[in-house]
Structure formats: C-alpha cells, structure tokens
Amino acid sequence: MPTTKTKRPARLPFNPQSLPGPETITRRELSNGIVALIYENNTSPSVVVDADLRAGSLWESRAQAGLAGFATAALMRGTERNTFSEIYEAIESVGASLGMSGGTHTSGFYGKSLAEDLSLLLGLAADALRQPTFPADQVERLRGELLTRLGIRANNTRARAEEAFYEAAYPGHPYAVDEDGYPETIQAITRDDLAAFHRRHFGPRGMILTVVGAVRASEVLELVERCFGDWANPQQPPEPALPPVMPPPAAVVRRVVLPGKIQSDVVLGAPGPARRHPQFLAARLANNILGVFGMGGRIGYHVREKGGMAYYAATALDGGLGPGPWRAYAGVNPKNVDKAVDLMRREIRKFTTRKVTAEELEDNKANFLGRLPFGLETNEGLAGNVGSLELYQLGLDYLQRYPSMIQAITRDEIQAVAREFLSADNYVLAVAGPE
C-alpha cells in the first residue's frame, strides 16, 4: 500500500507540443454536417478509419431493445451494389478489416488497410451505410448470432450483475435498458423494423470521421467528399434529451440467482460524471487511485490481496456523452460476498472522508502522463484519441493541454469529486451468483 512519504513531481519525459494538436490535425466540416479529422502519420504504411454516427439505442423503445445494434450489425450483410460475400471478398482480398457496431449514443464503423486501399475501405463503408438491403436470409442468420450471444450472457455472473446494476442505478432512464436487447425483443424485431430504423436515423448530421495513417489530408478530404458529400437525410432526428439522473437515496440491493454457479460477481456504485463534467479528469485520477493503479488500487489491495476475498477486484469509471456509472466490482466466492462488500464500502468511506496521500497522487499522475505517449504510438490509438476530441468537444489542443491539467489536480479536488459521486451508505449493489 502507498505510504504518506512525499516526493517531487516527476518531470515530463516528452514535449507536450509534440503531441497531436491544431497544427497537425486537419479538421473539415462538410456541408451536410459530417466532420472529418485527418492526422498524417507516416511511421506505418497502414491507415485506420474510425467513425461515429449519432444513431444508437437512445432512439429505440424498450419494446424494441437491441434494434439499433441489430440494424447496425446488418448494414454489411448486403447492399444495392454488393452481396454479403462480395463485401467480405473485397475486404479480405487486400488484407483489410472493416466492421460496424452499435452503441447507446452512437453507432459507427472501424476499418484498417494499407494506405493505398483507403478508397476501397471508405467506398465499402459508404455503400453499407447508405444503401443496405437487409437480405432476409442474412437477417435471420444475424438474429441467430445475437440470440446466441444473449444466451451466453444470461449465464455469465459478471454480465448479469452489470445488467442488474444498470437497471437499479438508472430507474426510468434509457441507460437501464441493455443496448444489446433481450431474447424476446430480438425475436420480435422484423426486417422492416431494421430498414425503417436505418431509413430514419442514419444520416450525416453529427457524424465524425477520423482517418489516421500514411495519407495526405487533401487526398483524404477528396475521398470523404466523394463517398459521403452528397449524403442527406432530412428526417434524421436530433438526439433525445436524457432525463436527469439522481444518486441513490439509500442502499439499493439487487440479487440475481444463477443456480449451479461457483462464483458470485458483485457490482457496487452509482451514476458518475459525464465526460464533459468540469472535474472529470480529477474523477479519472481518483478512480485510478481507488481501484486501478498497481494490482487494482486500494480496492484491489484490501479486497483481493490483503482480505483474500476476491479473484479480482477493481473499479471503473465510464463517463461518456452521458453520466455513466462509477463502480467497484469483484468476482468472489459466494460465501464471501458480504465480507467483500463490507471491505469495498470501508474503502469507499475512507476515500471520501480522508484525502489521498501526496505520494499516491504523484504516483498516479506519473502513471497517467507516462501512459499518454504509449496510447498514441499506433494509428489505432491516435484515431481513438483524435476522434474523442470532436465527440466530446474537448478542442484540438486538448492532448497538448492534458499534461498540465493532470499536474494541476489537487488532493482537495480528488476528495471533492469522490464525495460528489461515491458513497458508502447510498449506493446500488448488484450481486449475481448461486443462491
């Protein structure tokens, strides 16, 4: 465990101005609302494409849970130009990859190829997004795959504990509904439902297209304009407003019984800050100290290492476009559930009532700053980071400002943000395992 011994803050081993910023990221907004971000990186012959569209499970009803993900997954199953086989033969013939996935606030696609094959990659993605045909046989095949995944999830203690946690932490909120849907909703969704969701919700407004690799920005912009510049969807609706989220008024407990299991999974926490919260970086640093750093931070040390109560124990902070949860989780022997929960609550209470030590703070700051360049070593890492600048409206200079913002976080800020979102008395606890 960390001690109270202090040490000088480590000096930055890199120049923040060497990180991607306004000077090196090309940003263009097309007339139809698509924002293109291009970062030229000639250290590799490859190129990565990462795109987010404003179409996700927020736009579906509880009765059709999983519709957005189902529709997105079906986009590449056949288009007006290409069959399912032709799409994947074209991708595999050049050793590329391309996939589409749905989420809560966004859906999107991700692809990677040699830079010379970027035109093929963007062309196939545009074709799937704009002209899918949802072939009946492919829809049924995909339905079977989705139902199989849901069947596996139904017997997974970690997944069932997370599901119960969301339902209890976000009552009456879209986040309480699983974006993957449920067996009965996936069974009921028709091909016409998929086509109607695509027709209404998929469009260029709000789309963010990030391209990173051995490419020239001017040439990429021409490709993007050619593939997406004339795309329009006048009926594309705005993003639904999220209802307010309230902290738990007391201890809320949900238990899911899965007979025959030999492990229980525990999730304990509450709704946390959205990515745009002014103290989100302090919350991230606090989460690192509480349940990530080393072998799982304080939670990992006291619950797993010292207490011997868990196979794994840590914390997670999911802040995104909305207030994702801040929670501790653990996989434990069923007979140790109550003891593990008591240890979690004890560490959360200490964390909210006492400031972290100066050494803990500096160690975790050094960890954050040391990880930053490694997250930008690959085209994949660059694309994810550059795209997030636009998605969360952080500013193109955010990565260059990031080191100074981390270094400025204080012990008081860590305690304040922990007190705002964490409580040892008012929380949601979900447990899934044997009776």
Instruction: Say whether 69 sits in a helix, a strand or coil.
Output: helix
Q: Which domains does the chain have, with CATH numbers?
A: 23-228 (3.30.830.10), 252-433 (3.30.830.10)
424's CB contacts (< 8 A; 6+ apart) are 345, 346, 348, 349, 352
Per residue, the 3-state secondary structure of 211-268, as one string, reads EEECCCHHHHHHHHHHHHCCCCCCCCCCCCCCCCCCCCCCCEEEEEECCCCCCEEEEE
Q: How many other C-beta atoms lie within 10 A of the C-beta of residue 289?
A: 24
Amino acid at 275: R
CA angle (230 as vertex; 229, 235 as ends), nearest 5: 115
Rounded to whole angstroms, the Cα distance separating 97 from 64 reads 30
How do residues 224-275 score in pLDDT, each as one tens digit?
999 999 999 999 999 999 999 999 999 999 999 999 999 999 999 999 999 9
Q: Are the C-beta atoms of residues 96 and 88 closer than 8 Å to each other?
A: no
CA dist 166 to 41, 154, 169, 350, Å?
A: 40, 15, 5, 25
Tokens at residue 250, please?
A: 């007391």
Q: According to the model, what pLDDT value does residue 295 have?
A: 86
Tokens at residue 43, please?
A: 């250290």
User: 293: exposed, middle or buried (C-beta count within 10 Å: 0-12, 13-18, 19+)?
Assistant: buried
Q: According to the model, what pLDDT value does residue 10 have?
A: 55
pTM metric for this prediction: 0.93
Task: pLDDT tens for the chain, 435 residues: list them.
Answer: 444 444 555 567 788 999 999 999 999 999 999 999 999 999 989 999 999 999 999 999 999 999 999 999 999 999 999 999 999 999 999 999 999 999 999 999 999 999 999 999 999 999 999 999 999 999 999 999 999 999 999 999 999 999 999 999 999 999 999 999 999 999 999 999 999 999 999 999 999 999 999 999 999 999 999 999 999 999 999 999 999 999 999 999 999 999 999 999 999 999 999 999 999 999 999 999 999 998 899 999 999 999 998 999 999 999 999 999 999 999 999 999 999 999 999 999 999 999 999 999 999 999 999 999 999 999 999 999 999 999 999 999 999 999 999 999 999 999 999 999 999 999 999 999 998
Phi, psi at 260, each rounded to 5°: 90, -10
Q: Are the C-beta atoms of residues 79 and 131 closer than 8 Å to each other?
A: yes
Helix (H) and strand (E) counts in the chain: 15, 11
Q: DSSP letters along 143-168, please?
A: HHHHHHHHHHHHT-HHHHHHHHHHHH
